[in-house]
Chains A and B, each alone.
Chain A
Amino acid sequence: NAGVMQNPRHLVRRRGQEARLRCSPMKGHSHVYWYRQLPEEGLKFMVYLQKENIIDESGMPKERFSAEFPKEGPSILRIQQVVRGDSAAYFCASSQHSGAYEQYFGPGTRLTVT
């Protein structure tokens, strides 16, 4: 059973470009969470999605960031007009259902904005 998959693993963008990060949850999991880890810090929650629904986006910056989890295909975290402060590791996690014991983390996407 494949784990949570994220791609790309590394992404370099120039200031002002768009970044698209993809997350495929574990098989049978329909809940996806996105977290951001700034250098030398802990992970910070961004958004929680179920298929076709955003459940909790309390950690998402108000501008430039959006997330979706369509009926078919991976979850996408989109960052428009990236700035240097967006440089971070972005982790996706998935769970089987709400309240499930554990969220299983993907390998992360390391975004560098130059």
Chain B
Amino acid sequence: ELKVEQNPLFLSMQEGKNYTIYCNYSTTSDRLYWYRQDPGKSLESLFVLLSNGAVKQEGRLMASLDTKARLSTLHITAAVHDLSATYFCAVDNPSQGAQKLVFGQGTRLTINP
């Protein structure tokens, strides 16, 4: 059974600092996704990572994928308050007939001035 674990689950940081959220998954997966969710809102897609070594960047967020280690990271550079949200990673395996997304528990990020 495919499982996805994130850590940390809660992260409080100061503006201007850097930090990394980790996402481990248990079996081979085709794709890895990062989403952002603001309180009471839906999911906003941030990144889709498809292959080993993939790296994508958007503003202060950078995501990478190591399929051999079954690990993805979401790195936050010089955090600003607007990045406060809950971040989820998710994986799917359509080549194995599994279309569903399996989500991690989420990392609640709070950025303090």
Contact = CB atoms under 8 A, between A and B. Distances in A.
B43 A42 contact: no
A43 to B, nearest CB: 5
A72 interface: no
Contacts of A43: 43, 88, 90, 101, 103
Interface string A98-114: 11011111111010000
Q: Secondary structure at chain B's binding surface: helix, strand, loop or mixed?
A: strand
A91 B43 CA distance: 9
Contacts of B31: 101
B100 A59 contact: yes
Contacts of A102: 33, 45, 48
Nearest to B94: A99
B100 A108 contact: no
Given A91-B42, A105-B43, A108-B42, A98 B100 contact: no
Contacts of A42: 88, 103-106
Interface string B80-97: 000000001010001100
A107 B107 CA distance: 20
B99 interface: yes
A75 B5 CA distance: 30
Nearest to B106: A42
